[in-house]
Amino acid sequence: MQLIIADEAGFCTGVRRAFHISEEMANSEGKWFTLGPLVHNKAVVDYFSQNGIEPLEDINNLAGDGIIIRSHGVSPQAMAVIQEKGLMIRDATCPLVKKVHEAARLLQSEGYDIIVFGDIHHPEVQGIMGWCNHKAQVITSIDEVQSQKKFKKLGIISQTTRNENEFLAVVEALLPRAQEIRVFNTICSATRKRQEAARLLSAEVDCMLVIGDRNSSNTKTLAQECQNTGVATHVIESAQDLNPEWFKAGDKVGVSAGASTPDWIIKEVLDRMTQFDDGAPQEQIIQETQMETNAPRENDTSEENFAKMEAEMADIVSPSRGDIIKGIVVEVHDDDVMVDVGGKSEGIIPLREMSVKDVSSAKLLATVGEEIEVLVLKWDDDGTILLSKKKVDSKRAMDKLEETFNEGGIVEGTITSSVKGGLLVDVGVIAFLPASHVEDGYVKNLDEYIGKTYSFKIIEFNRNKKRGSQIVLSRKQLVEAEKSKLKEQFWATIEEGQVLKGRIKRLVDYGAFIDLGGFEGLLHVSEIDHVRVEHPSAVFNEGDEIEVYILALDREKQRVSLSRKKLLKSPWEIVMEKYAEGDIVEGKVVRIAPFGAFVEIEPGVDGLVHISQLANYRVEKPQDVVAVSQIIRVKILSIDQEEKRIGLSLKEAAESLQEEEVQEYLQNQEGQESQDDPEGSAADE
């Protein structure tokens, strides 16, 4: 007898995930239950009952400390009841079933009539109905299509374990019955692959065994696929159901299993098959479909063949936690990526496991058809992930960084955030940059570096470190080396009289230190402006970029004196360009003398209003007319550029302004009279 195991058989990813979540809860504190059977397989349910986790059928009888939502999912109404009872929840709903829930919710919210292709009594379908407020019809076959009404907007979804060809036939039959139709093909790809593998194998064998619970929808569908090929098909739940009369010497027997069938059941069945043929050990050939080259030699013993069978079964079991495998991206969503990793089904990479970088959508990181390496996680705290690309990328990056560290090389990275004591840097993995190693001196504001890319030296590398950073970086040595190089270039090219751009590095009471790109020069407070500056902070902020004039160089002591004043117009230049004799200007009284008042008309430029020009009457003391800090309007009588003197008159300014007001009043009066008596004006003419 020759046994051939189908390429796709046994636990799917969703069931395996639910199994692991339940195992985790069985080993935790408190009493946990499942809401209904975890999966449609009595052996799995019995296994967990023996480990303290029992199924509860009636939601109103929920008790214990926590509830595990089974892989078929539940309605939002059922979830609300559980939450009201205050129970802990572990959601083992298959991620693909959750996508069906979302499709049902979306169709209902957008006003579609909904048809669900499936079994109304199946818990998955009952859960789906809850997500569209039970406003959907359930049909089980194409025969029910003819009784359907005409639809304006029709949405079609399916139970994940149904036959895809039957689903597509139902969709095709419904097309003429709707003005608008929207179809979500929600058949599980693992189910589809399992059915296809079983169908192909059925054409090569004399008999098919389908291992699975008889109440399992996907097991029933799998058996029907095999029977449709005409091959003799037997559904068994365990090795005890095997009947030796089904097989003849020399038969080729194909073996498949439903998505909720545990690996140990499959192994027991294969073990029992090796003992058939009148009770005598019989030479067996265990191979996978399309792998005849692995068949044993004629003199192989049954024990050797069973070892081969165990090896074949290893291909059915999902890769172990921590394994790095390759896969092909088959679907990309905003929140996750689905990857075909071979075996029974796809794996899921949640967005947070795609990259160390913070991105808004997985669509920015992966494309359908791309081959990627992933690390098998199987599940995390919320039971929703299976794979990680981030951890594989991190491992590869760590390998490269370790090599760079050993060679004393340089790495490039982008600063992502600030933390206590330093900065975090993305160098393929997240490394730590101490504050004391950011520059060659003290850094006041670390946040200014976030988002910028620099080169770094690795000063500490320990991939086995459990606490703290495995990688510690430094810019300090690189900055010092770069500054030394720039300093040499600076002194080789600098000359007095040059005008350079620089950045203000530090502000002190006596001036500002300007980074000129390789060397710092001093801009003394007296050289900031033509007017008196009390403190440099009144004019500048650290980090400002300004132009400066090279005032003096001391190459021996390596000192550079700078001036900004040299590049600014003097107050008298501004006055000569801006004002002329006869202008009336506004100014502030800054000083009073016995012979008059000094008025500032521009910063740094004062004019004198002689006591005789303060008023059109005799003034005994200037302070009888004006006060210090008073804003007044004056007329420019004279400008002496050589002596830098300006003569002003408050009296003439007042007279000029008064005359202007009178003229304006008369003009307005004449205009008003013309409007009031247009005919009289015409008669006068």
Cβ-contact 631, 672 below 8 angstroms: no
Residue 103 exposure: Cα atoms within 13 Å on the Cβ side:
25
The burial class, CB within 10 Å (0-12 / 13-18 / 19+), for 640 is exposed
Question: What is the CA 497 to chain-centroid distance, rounded?
Answer: 52
Q: Report DSSP state, residue 39.
A: S
Six token digits for residue 312: 């074949």
Six token digits for residue 594: 């016995």
- Of 8, 124, 346, 353, the active-site residue reads 124
Distance CA 26, CA 177 (A): 50
Cβ-contact 6, 198 below 8 angstroms: yes
Six token digits for residue 439: 């520059």
Q: Sign (positive/negative) of CA torsion 478, 484, 488, 491?
A: positive
Largest CA distance in the chain: 145
Residue 661 exposure: Cα atoms within 13 Å on the Cβ side:
6
The burial class, CB within 10 Å (0-12 / 13-18 / 19+), for 381 is exposed
Cα distance between the two ends of the chain: 134
Element housing 81 (H / E): helix 76-84
The burial class, CB within 10 Å (0-12 / 13-18 / 19+), for 615 is middle
Q: What are phi and psi of 559, to 5 degrees?
A: -125, 145
Q: What is the chain's alpha carbon radius of gyration, rounded to the nearest angstrom?
A: 44
Question: Which residues, at least 6 apart from 171, have a Cβ–Cβ distance to it below 8 Å?
Answer: 156, 181, 183
Match 């050289």 to its residue by tokens. Answer: 527
124 is catalytic: yes
Question: Which residues, at least 6 apart from 201, have a Cβ–Cβ distance to it below 8 Å?
Answer: 4, 6, 208, 254, 256, 289
* Packing angle of the helix pair 95-109, 13-26 (nearest 10 deg): 110
Distance CA 490, CA 478 (A): 18
Q: Which amino acid is at 434?
A: P
Q: Which amino acid is at 348?
A: I
Q: Report DSSP state, residue 401.
A: H
Instruction: Give the strand pairing for 324-332 and 285-288.
Output: unpaired
Q: Which residue numbers are catalytic? A: 124
